[in-house]
């Protein structure tokens, strides 16, 4: 655009200079013609900004290590960079003003149930917005269980270096294949965004703290999300259910329920976010409650934050002894961290998380599993995890 | 243009409590009658009623506008739009290089809104909100 304008000025100057040679009137006509051609060209350039295809990407990388081998979030004394590293590209095709197709390909350095650097279709859906504002999507999408579900892999959109595992590990299957519909309801002059979804999800998961994996399958997922925001406060509620299948726990089409409440506050330099979630599954599959609160204060591009998170399984009596008892989980996690927006599109984060308060559980930590299962108690009663992370979006 | 900005800057020093001025502008054929919260909806992807434009980062006018209307800093806006982009909710507004270009762009785009330094505003656009 800038280029064009310069050209336009130059053309005008050239033409005006030569205007003395030929008739000024003819030149003026020519100038007018050129001007209108340029206008059209500029309009074309403006239109081409609304292109039919857009591509964006994001990546994360980082380093984490722990003060001992308790294995919180898989982090030990010998941790490496790969688990925190991921790269994604996302493309959106506009088929019409109201219909678009979106895909996201994501490659992770390490994942419990996938090959290293295996690229997966994380999202792939068609979206259609009807004239009455109802948006319907079909395909592979993110299960909208948490406040940061949509940006689970997009570290750049999260304030913290680690999404609190007390809540975010509640349901480890992040995507589903199915349908959703979103509508902005007008209730007493307030806009309540309502989303309903349904579908199916399946992925291999680790069995407890062992080295074997098995298929975790959620069938007939149905759920609803309601959210309200006035840009300072955001409130969100979610309820969902699914027929849950996980052979190692003998879970076969057992009723699984999920409930979550979230609140976010953002005003001036202060931000706060908190979520409370509950997972209930029939049988020995653990019922688990989790919650966290994060407070942050922005000093220009630097935001220190503090998080307290709590998790506790509610049906420990169903898993009194042996390997299953290592699924009993109780923990208090305290995090201090800082996010620095180093330059547009790039954030650096540092985080220290201290975890303790396992009570009479193993804390669901891999380093405690063996001794706990054999009745000898925990090897570790606390752990510290240090994380450095770089998140970018482009 | 530079002179204008120098004057504006001088004014800033002369009256330290006054801010760089910014007004919300729109295409002469509309939209009009927008409230502050309508404009906020347009700039925070809650409404598609009109096409908003942004001035590129680093502009004083942009900073003033966002302090007034959205209450979001540049880094907050970056995070916000990254999230919106990757969740398929939408793309950030197209950017222009400065306040004068904003006036040209809004004047040339039907049903668009923007913001500008009042010193750059001429009758090719209409001023729909003042601070």
Boundaries of every domain in chain A: 1-50, 54-393
Interchain CB distance below 8 Å, B86 and A90: yes
Which tens digits make up the pLDDT trace of A225-283? 999 988 789 999 999 999 999 998 889 999 999 999 999 999 889 999 999 999 999 99
The answer to ipTM > 0.90 is no
Residue A288 has pLDDT above 70, yes or no: yes
Which tens digits make up the pLDDT trace of A268-281? 899 999 999 999 99
Is the CB of residue A301 less than 8 Å from the CB of residue A341? Answer: yes
pTM of the model: 0.82
Residue A16: predicted pLDDT: 46
Stretch A86-108: mean pLDDT: 93
Q: Chain-wide mean pLDDT for chain A? A: 88
In a domain, B13, yes or no: no
CATH number for the domain that contains residue B56:
3.40.190.10
Residue A33: predicted pLDDT: 79
Interface test with B, best of A47, A150, A232, A233 (most B CBs within 10 A): A150
Q: Report the candidate in A382, A334, A330, A336 with the shortest Cα–Cα distance to residue A356.
A: A382
Separation CA A84–CA A64 (nearest Å): 8
Interface test with B, best of A41, A344, A348 (most B CBs within 10 A): A344
Which tens digits make up the pLDDT trace of A10-34? 444 444 444 444 566 777 887 787 7
Is the CB of residue A387 less than 8 Å from the CB of residue A63? Answer: yes
Q: Residues of B with CB below 8 A from A92's CB? A: 88
Separation CA B115–CA B106 (nearest Å): 9
Q: A82 — phi, psi (to 5°)?
A: -55, -45
Total structural domains within chain B: 1
Residue A4: predicted pLDDT: 43
Q: Residues of B with CB below 8 A from A43's CB? A: 108
Residue B85: predicted pLDDT: 87
In a domain, B5, yes or no: no
Residue A209: predicted pLDDT: 61
Residue A360 has pLDDT above 60, yes or no: yes
Please state, for a pLDDT cut of 70, what percent of chain A lies above it: 89
Shortest distance between the Cα of A268 and any Cα of chain B, in A, equals: 7
Q: Which fold has domain A54-393?
A: Porin (2.40.160)
In a domain, B6, yes or no: no
Residue A78: predicted pLDDT: 85
Q: Tell whether B57 lies on the interface with A, counting CB pairs under 8 A.
A: yes
Shortest distance between the Cα of B57 and any Cα of chain A, in A, equals: 9
Phi-psi group of A317: left, alpha or beta (phi > 0 → left; psi -120 to 50 → alpha; rest → beta): alpha
- For the four alpha carbons of A351, A354, A358 and A359, in that order, the dihedral sign comes to negative
Domain of B27, in residue numbers: 20-130
Structure tokens at A16: 């005006």
Shortest distance between the Cα of B87 and any Cα of chain A, in A, equals: 6
What is the distance of C-alpha B29 from the center of its chain?
A: 18
Interchain CB distance below 8 Å, A100 and B88: yes
């Amino acid at each position: 655009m800038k280029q064009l304008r310069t050209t336009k000025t130059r053309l005008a100057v050239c033409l005006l200079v030569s205007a003395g040679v030929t008739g000024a009137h003819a030149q003026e006509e020519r100038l007018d013609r050129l001007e209108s051609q340029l206008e059209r060209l500029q309009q074309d350039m403006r239109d081409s900004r609304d292109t039919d295809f857009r591509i964006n990407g994001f990546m994360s990388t980082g380093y984490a290590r722990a003060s001992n081998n308790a294995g919180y979030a898989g982090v030990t004394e010998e941790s490496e960079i790969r688990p925190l590293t991921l790269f994604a590209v996302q493309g959106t095709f506009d088929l019409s003003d109201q219909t678009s197709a979106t895909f996201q390909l994501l490659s992770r350095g390490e994942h419990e149930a996938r090959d290293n650097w295996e690229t997966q279709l994380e999202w792939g859906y068609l979206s259609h917005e009807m004239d009455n504002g109802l948006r319907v999507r079909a395909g592979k999408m993110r299960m909208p269980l948490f406040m940061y579900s949509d940006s689970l892999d997009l570290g750049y959109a999260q304030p913290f270096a680690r999404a609190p595992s007390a809540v975010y590990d509640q349901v480890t299957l992040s995507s589903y294949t199915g349908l959703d519909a979103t509508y902005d309801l007008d209730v007493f002059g307030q806009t309540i965004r309502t989303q309903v979804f349904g579908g199916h999800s399946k992925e291999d998961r680790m069995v407890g703290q062992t080295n074997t994996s098995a298929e975790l399958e959620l069938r007939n997922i149905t759920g609803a999300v309601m959210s309200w925001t006035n840009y300072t406060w955001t409130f969100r509620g979610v309820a969902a259910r699914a027929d849950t299948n996980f052979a190692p726990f003998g879970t076969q089409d057992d009723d699984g329920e999920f409930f979550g409440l979230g609140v976010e506050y953002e005003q001036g330099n202060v931000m706060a976010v908190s979520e409370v979630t509950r997972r209930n599954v029939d049988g020995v599959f653990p019922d688990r409650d989790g919650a966290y609160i994060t407070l942050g204060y922005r000093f220009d591009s630097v935001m220190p934050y503090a998080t307290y998170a709590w998790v506790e399984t509610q049906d420990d009596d169903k898993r009194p002894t042996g390997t299953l008892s290592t699924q009993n989980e109780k923990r208090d996690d305290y995090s201090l961290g800082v996010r620095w927006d180093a330059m547009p599109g790039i954030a650096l984060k540092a985080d220290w998380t201290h975890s303790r308060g396992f009570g009479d559980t193993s804390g669901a930590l891999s380093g405690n599993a063996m001794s706990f299962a054999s009745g000898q108690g925990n090897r570790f009663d606390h752990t510290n995890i240090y994380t450095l992370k770089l998140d970018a979006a482009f | 243009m530079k002179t204008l900005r120098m004057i504006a800057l001088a004014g800033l020093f002369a009256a330290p409590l006054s801010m760089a001025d910014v007004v919300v502008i729109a295409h002469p054929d509309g939209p009009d009658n927008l409230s502050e919260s309508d404009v906020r909806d347009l700039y925070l992807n809650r409404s598609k009623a009109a096409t908003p434009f942004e001035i590129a980062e680093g502009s004083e006018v942009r900073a003033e506008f966002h302090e007034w209307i959205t209450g979001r800093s540049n880094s907050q806006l970056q995070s916000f739009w990254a999230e919106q982009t990757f969740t398929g909710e939408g793309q950030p507004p197209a950017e222009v290089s400065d306040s004068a270009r904003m006036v040209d762009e809004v004047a040339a785009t039907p049903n668009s809104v923007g913001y500008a330094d009042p010193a750059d505003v001429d009758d090719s656009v209409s001023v729909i909100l003042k601070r």
